[in-house]
A = this chain, B = another copy of it.
């Protein structure tokens, strides 16, 4: 039973039925007649029709590079569950590596009248993305996780990854490590924060910083770790900025017979499931993905409900989860 059928049965226009449904002006007699049919037919209002009337689609979008990345999936999961509990569907968008695809998705989402947009990951903090937001969804609440853009409708929930990496490096120092390398594997703002935390820690400890860069993957971790061990045989700890790259490093150390953590300690970042699958199990900076997703969704719901007091950015503290790749103290 649709609004068309109700209108035909009542002998009125669909605009009249719509006014009855949405509390608009209509005569008492007509309202009674339409109401009676609506009740008799157990009418379920189409959300699409309601969306046309209210300009709300009751859908939000989750923009991510690739949902197969476990740390993106961890955030997307919580966002979807939290939004579903509040009555919103979540449209998943895997943007891949192409910068233009954000624009294509946002144009389509704008035509769909999505009520809000989440961006997972700081890879979206670019002038191009900012331009797309301004062009296609200037009035739609936008929630970034692990980043924020200077746009009037953009908000963010961030983990203090600089502090997280700082604490991890300080822990390695207190365990007696003096040649602590860092391996970065992307060019995002999140990555710059992590590097800043590392440099601050090495400066505070008065040890030499040793910075390396590779591709974010098992193989990227393997290649760079081989090179580090070859060029700097005295290295006694490696901090990686992503667990999957750290797992590659652990494999190389295992294959070379380098004792973990006695000879070389390893710490990853994201505290993902890779940490427990890896052998030995990987210590990792916990940037609190679950909490990030939950807070991002809660902030979005407040924005959609037009509640006040929504903070522009929320900053969470990182933890450090110690497993088998760091020495006991």
Contacts and interface: CB of A to CB of B under 8 A. Distances in A.
Interface of A: 2, 15, 44-49, 51-52, 55, 57-59, 61-62, 66-68, 70, 73-74, 76-77, 80-81, 84, 87, 89-94, 96, 105, 108-113, 218, 244, 247, 250-251, 254, 273-274, 276-279, 281
Given A15-B15, A68-B74, A73-B73, 19 more contacts: A2-B55, A45-B111, A48-B48, A58-B112, A59-B59, A62-B92, A67-B67, A67-B76, A67-B77, A67-B80, A70-B70, A76-B92, A91-B91, A91-B92, A92-B92, A218-B276, A247-B277, A251-B281, A274-B277
Contacts of A111: 44-47
Contact of A77 (B58, B68, B84): B68
Number of copies: 2
Given A67-B73, A278-B278, A48 B109 contact: no
A123 to B, nearest CB: 16
B76 A89 contact: no
A34 B232 CA distance: 73
Contact of A48 (B73, B87, B92, B113): B113
Contacts of A273: 68, 244
A48 B46 contact: no
B93 A80 contact: yes
A73 B120 CA distance: 15
A87 B109 CA distance: 11
6 contacts: A44-B110, A48-B57, A61-B89, A67-B73, A68-B74, A274-B277
